[in-house]
Amino acid sequence: ILNVEQSPQSLHVQEGDSTNFTCSFPSSNFYALHWYRWETAKSPEALFVMTLNGDEKKKGRISATLNTKEGYSYLYIKGSQPEDSATYLCAPTGAQKLVFGQGTRLTINP
């Protein structure tokens, strides 16, 4: 079973500020790391799938980095907007299944 830790559990950020949060996972038996955004009353939506150590992916104002050797990934949001308010989930794949972390609940204050 993969132990996935996300920190912080919740975060309040002022609109326009940038922020980041962490996903930690066991570095052994690593296949890929997924990030999802889950807005209230919607279903989770895939942001990134990352596989290579040192990988960096970007989607608009959101980017993510991956360190498979030490077992962590960072998600960055630049210039936060109210629509960024959501729970951000990471999920490393072990053998085949995805095990999700508890998520970071992000609230953007206007």
Partner 1 sequence: GAGVSQSPSNKVTEKGKDVELRCDPISGHTALYWYRQSLGQGLEFLIYFQGNSAPDKSGLPSDRFSAERTGGSVSTLTIQRTQQEDSAVYLCASSFRARDTNSPLHFGNGTRLTVT
Contact positions toward partner 1, by CB under 8 A? 1, 31-32, 34, 36, 42-46, 49, 51, 89, 93, 95-103
Residue 88 CB, nearest distance to partner 1 (Å)?
A: 12
Residue 101 CB, nearest distance to partner 1 (Å)?
A: 7
The span from the CA of 98 to the CA of 101, in Å, is 10
Q: Give the nearer residue to partner 1 in terms of CB position, either 81 or 102.
A: 102
CB contact set of 21 (below 8 Å; sequence gap of 6+): 6, 7, 8, 11, 74, 75, 88, 104, 106
Q: Give the nearer residue to partner 1 in terms of CB position, either 3 or 18.
A: 3
The span from the CA of 32 to the CA of 53, in Å, is 10
Residue 62 CB, nearest distance to partner 1 (Å)?
A: 15
